[in-house]
A and B are shown apart, each in its own frame.
Chain A
Amino acid sequence: MNEVTVIGAGVAGLAVTRALLDRGAQVRLVDRNGPPGAHGCSWWAGGMLAPFCEGESAEEPVVRLGQRSADWWDKHTGLVQRHGSLVVSAARDHSDLKRFARRTDHFREVSGPEITALEPDLGTRFSRGLFFDTEAHLSPRAALAALFESVTKDGAQFEVAEVALEAQDGLVVDCRGYAARDATPELRGVKGEMLVLRCPDVDLTRPVRLLHPRIPLYVVPRGDGIFMLGATMIESSASDHVTARSLLELLSAAYALNPAFGEAEVIEVGVDLRPAFPDNLPRIRRDGPDGRVIRANGLFRHGYLLAPALGEMVADVIFENATPEMMDEAIA
């Protein structure tokens, strides 16, 4: 096996690199912007490893493949927090909670007092919820850094460079996310906006989702009084600004969760594009001269949940000449 070049050091590229190293490949990991950072959309993620909750709107493969992600991240980073996830709604939106329950599984219904017991800082504001006790979360930036360190320590050669994919020797895996749109016309961007707050007055143990017919919100605790609030989903390929309306909606929802968020310090406002195919599922595609370019893309809002499976499947393509389920040929 010659050297494999992986382009893009976001969550997809790192997971692919990890999988290739584990099968004994020599990997060259290239990113024109340097190690994982604010230039990649993985940086802005929520980091919820919540396959069952995602089943509310995602297709079956997301739920099935996503179930492996918590163990994978634990093995490779040791940063996984296994405290489940909690889903609540205001009394007027209980019909949304009922629908969420019908569309998902692996949860138990929790009453007001049980919600208070799980998350004392939600007080008595919620009388009904769903608790997905097997789900987990992690801090995406710490996880990216840990994974980057693990792959470079295990021999991946990292380069900061702009490279022409077709000009490389040997196999190339294109993990550039939305930047690969030039080569992947049906890829679209789905804009997401998020906020990071510092609010020492609130203590949460696990991600909390607040259902709302128009403005669903999740809050992910990062520890030390830091919270990530996410995330909007807008059909737009412009990631140059966050709108006042999105901030208003996110903050209003957080305020409804706990009015103490009104006093929080806004420490970060983020925006980027999730790369997505029309069915919002990832794809692996052979492309380029002699099929030497393998495009792995379209993780949409499931980067941390599905990157481990994506990485394994890319390795299956390269080492087993297999046609895993994310491949175009398997789907067509």
Chain B
Amino acid sequence: MRAFYGTHLSNGFMLGTAQSPSPAILADAFQRSGASVATVSLRRESGQDRAGQDFWQMIQSLGVHVLPNTAGCHTVKEAVTTAHMAREVFDTKWIKLEVIGEEDTLQPDVFGLVEAARILTEDGFQVFPYTTEDLVVADRLLHAGCEVLMPWGAPIGSGKGLNNVFGLRAMRAHFPDVPLVIDAGLGLPSQAAAAMEMGFDAVLLNTAVAKAGDPAAMALAFAQAVAAGTLAAEADPMEPRDMAAPSTPVIGKAFLS
């Protein structure tokens, strides 16, 4: 697996920490799945006087890498402020950068994203930008200093899976050396496996686990799918073909009988 700003993760499963029925269920989901990264969104109101620290301490006690995010930020200024707050609270340079551009689809404002990525990179952050599969935007983000890209599978919370397989394949092929994470839109483990089979380095999801009837079991299912997809990608999958290719030779068989 490609390294994320020099950090090698034990697996490609990143799990969000919002919307869980309870912190105990969330901790159980991490324990059963072995997810390597926890993303946590910071509301600016919780950052004042560290009012959210009961919850943050619980997340830090999970013993996984913490990737704070700027979820819900609609402007560059908000995202930058939130990133600074996150760095202080979690003592990490990592920041998952979200600059939301549209309220219904929650799709990224890619212009604001590139600008915020540049500001934060110059300030010493290691930015994980939530972006689309657009190659030109991806290129701008890399030029702004990002060393990881997080294209969406589908809109946040939609559970639609990999919406644009062609675009995502093109992105993977176009940036062979950049760690790529499918972020958002996954609803089922099979979709996570498909992403890993396509050569993505990790998947990040939240709603699919948090809103499952049994979140811990669903987290485990995703972890197993990620493991299967990772193994499959490493095992060099066969190429599909148009005609049947018999797995046993037909010559010598009594095929005219």
> Could you list which residues of chain A lie within 8 angstroms of chain B, going by C-beta atoms?
57-59, 99, 102-103, 188-189, 191, 213-214, 234-238, 241, 243, 276-281
Contact = CB atoms under 8 A, between A and B. Distances in A.
Nearest to B51: A238
A236 B21 contact: no
A236 B27 contact: no
Report the contact-size class of chain B (Cβ under 8 Å from the partner): 20 to 34
A234 B53 CA distance: 12
Nearest to A213: B157
B58 interface: yes
A234 B43 CA distance: 9
Nearest to B43: A234
B213 A234 contact: no
Given A235-B46, A235-B55, A237-B51, A278 B22 contact: yes
B48 interface: yes
A234 B45 CA distance: 10
B24 A279 contact: yes
B54 A189 contact: yes
A238 B55 CA distance: 13
B25 interface: yes
B112 interface: no
Interface string B196-213: 000000000001000101
A237 B54 contact: yes
Nearest to A181: B54
B213 A103 contact: yes
Contacts of B21: 57-59, 280
Contact of A279 (B22, B43, B49, B51): B22
Interface in B1-37: 21-25, 27
A77 B52 CA distance: 37
B22 A235 contact: no
A278 B58 contact: yes
A279 B26 CA distance: 9
28 contacts: A57-B21, A58-B21, A59-B21, A99-B211, A102-B213, A188-B54, A188-B55, A188-B58, A213-B157, A213-B207, A234-B43, A234-B45, A235-B55, A236-B55, A237-B51, A237-B54, A238-B45, A238-B46, A238-B49, A276-B22, A277-B24, A278-B22, A278-B23, A278-B24, A278-B27, A278-B58, A280-B21, A280-B22
A248 B53 CA distance: 25
Contact of A234 (B23, B46, B49): B46
B48 to A, nearest CB: 7
Nearest to B48: A238
Contacts of B25: 279
Interface of B: 21-25, 27, 43, 45-46, 48-49, 51-55, 58, 157, 207, 211, 213
A243 B45 contact: yes
A304 B255 CA distance: 77
Contacts of A279: 22-25
Contacts of B157: 213-214
A189 B175 CA distance: 45
A206 B68 CA distance: 41
B24 A236 contact: no
Contacts of A238: 45-46, 48-49, 51
Contacts of B207: 213
Per CB-CB distance, the 3 closest pairs between chain A and chain B, nearest first, are A238-B51, A188-B54, A279-B24
Contacts of A281: 22
Contacts of A243: 45
Given A99-B211, A278-B27, A236 B22 contact: no
Given A188-B54, A277-B24, A278-B58, 19 more contacts: A188-B55, A188-B58, A213-B157, A214-B157, A234-B46, A236-B46, A236-B52, A236-B55, A237-B53, A238-B49, A241-B45, A243-B45, A278-B22, A278-B23, A279-B23, A279-B25, A280-B22, A280-B23, A280-B24
Contacts of B45: 234, 236, 238, 241, 243
Nearest to B44: A243
Nearest to B45: A243
B210 to A, nearest CB: 10
Contacts of B43: 234, 236
A189 B51 CA distance: 9
Contacts of A234: 43, 45-46
Contacts of A57: 21
Nearest to B17: A235
A241 B43 CA distance: 14
Nearest to A96: B211
A277 B51 CA distance: 17
Contacts of B22: 59, 276, 278-281
Contacts of A189: 54
A269 to B, nearest CB: 15
A278 to B, nearest CB: 4
A241 B44 CA distance: 13
Nearest to A58: B21
A213 B213 CA distance: 15
A259 B232 CA distance: 54
From B48, B51, B58, name the one whose CB has the most chain A CB atoms within 10 angstroms. Answer: B51
Contacts of A103: 213
B182 to A, nearest CB: 20
